[in-house]
Structures are given as C-alpha cells and as structure tokens.
Amino acid sequence: RPEADLPAEIIFADVTDPHLGKRLPQVDAVVHLAGLADAGASWRDPAAYLAVNAGGTLNLLFFAREAGARFVFASSQRVYRPGRRLAETAPIEPRDPYGYAKWVGEVWCQMFGRLYEVPVRVVRFFSVYGPGQAWTSGQSGVLTIFLERALRGEPLEVRAPSRRDFTFVADAAAGLRLALERPEAPGRVYNIATGRGTTLLAAARLIKRVTGSASPVVARLAEPEESFVADIGRARRELGYEPRYTLKEGLCAYVAWLRARHPA
C-alpha cells in the first residue's frame, strides 16, 4: 500500500491500461495482487470486475513476458465450489462474478505459462485479514464487519452456519514469498490458508472477547451454509509453507492496528 513504511518506490498506475508496461521499470518478478476485492459488489458491476481482475491480469502477464519476469497471481477461494476440505484439485465452480474473474485470470496465467513459457504460480487465498484492511462501512470482509460493529458496541449478527478458513495477512505474505522463490514446477497452484475452519458464530464470539465489547452476538442461522476451508497439504509439501498465527493471535494484532487508526 502507498502508505506503508517500506524502502520501495511507489508508482501509481492502472492495471487496465494496455500501455501499462511502458510506465514500469525493468523487474525480475511480478507479484500481482491488484484488483477489486468485494465479491458482493461484483454482482452490481460484473463488467468492472472482469475488466480489472481478469483484463488487468492479462496486461501484467504481457508485461512479465516482455520483461522475462516470474509471475505470481493472487487468486481466491471463491473459484471453488464451497466445501470444508478444498484441495487444489477440487471442482472449479465460482458462485459470483468476482470468482469468475479470478478464474479467468488463472486461465490467462496457465496460457502464458504453457504457450509463452512465463514462469507463473497461482496462490488461492482464503479469507485474508489483518493490518492494512481498513473499515469497509459494513460492506465487505466478515471479520472486518464484525470488528467494526464490536468496537462500536453494535450487535454481531450471524446469519448462516458457514465456516471460513481465516488467514492472517503475515501468513498470506509468507506463502506468496515461498511461491515466488520456488524455481521448480511453473504453473502450480497453491492454497494459502490455515487448513482450519471456524464457524462465523465462533468468530463473532471470539471477536467479542478479544475486543472486550458489550455487543450481543445474535445467531439467526436462516441462510444456507457456504463454507470455504482449505487443504494446504500441497503448499506444505512443495513450498514448506506453515501458517504461524492462530485466529486469536491474528485478531489481537488486527484490533491493535484498527484502534490505532480509529481511536475511540
């Protein structure tokens, strides 16, 4: 993010710009995380999600090919049919335009890997959260929504018996780096997650404890289950990936960051 305190040059650009490559310096690798991230909003403007998340990926792949650079694409759990133990070989069955746009981005990656020999990797993230994820005004990210409401003393309403594989941002970054640094097996896809499912109800109760909030947790489980929990065996075996943060540890770090940005 531009506000991050890192020794890096910040270049503002539009991934949908077909001349994007002319604005970028020579690089050894591209780690592509740019995109629109609200799956719910993708129903309202699917064209924008395809243009940015799929078309933007295509532009960056052309740039990587010209630069002779490695390429790591950040995809999503939402390319899968929902399930409680999703390996990389699980059925691809997106349920929203966001998931389809990510899937199209993956297809572009495979094409560039096979036809143009671009060394590509795909990482499928599961419910990433943590410092850097700002308020969403109750629109996106179930943990962020719960935390916003808890810190304001508002009820935490759970509407489905679903499970999520909540992945702390530091673990996600570690998985990205491992995928980038592995020279073998171009074209491989890796789930980056914890391999542990947590019900939304349990997450809401944990947030109430971590924040010390007086918010009531209200369970109205009328909606159908839609769970996304990863099998991370491939990433463990091939990348040496191992998640380090429990949900409680990650939430404590996230709450501290949010409180520093949004003092009461």
pLDDT tens for 73-90 read 999 999 999 999 999 999
Q: What local confidence, expressed as pLDDT, does residue 71 receive? A: 96
Q: What SS3 state is found at 4?
A: coil
pLDDT at position 205 over 90: yes
Pairing type for strands 167-168 and 29-32 reads unpaired
Please tell me the predicted confidence (pLDDT) of residue 138.
47
Considering only residues 21 and 108, tell me which one the structure prediction assigns the higher pLDDT. 108
Could you give the CA distance from residue 191 to residue 222 in angstroms, rounded to a whole number? 30
Q: How confident is the model at residue 139 (pLDDT cuts 50, 70, 90)?
A: low
Was domain 20-261 assigned CATH 3.30.70.260?
no
* pLDDT over 60 (residue 249): yes
The per-residue pLDDT for range 12-59, each reduced to its tens digit, is 889 999 888 888 888 999 999 999 988 889 999 999 999 999 999 999
- Token output for 183: 């020279």
* 167: number of Cβ within 10 Å: 28
- Following DSSP, what letter does each residue of 13-56 receive, concatenated? --TT-TTGGGGS---SEEEE--S---TTGGGT-HHHHIIIIIIH
Residue 235 has pLDDT above 90, yes or no: yes
d(CA 2, CA 12): 9
pTM for the complete prediction?
0.93
The DSSP symbol for 262 reads S
- Model confidence at 136, pLDDT cuts 50, 70, 90, reads low
Q: What percent of the chain has pLDDT over 90?
A: 77
Q: Which residues contact 74 (CB under 8 A, 6 or more apart)?
A: 31, 32, 33, 35, 123, 125, 176
pLDDT in tens, 162-175: 999 999 999 999 99
Contacts of 89 (CB under 8 A, 6+ apart): none
- Helices of type H across 130-199: 142-151, 169-181
Q: Which amino acid is at 263?
A: P
CA nearest neighbour of 144 among 159, 126, 127, 124: 127
In the chain, what are the helix, strand and coil shares in percent, each to the nearest 5?
40, 15, 40
Average pLDDT over residues 153-158: 94
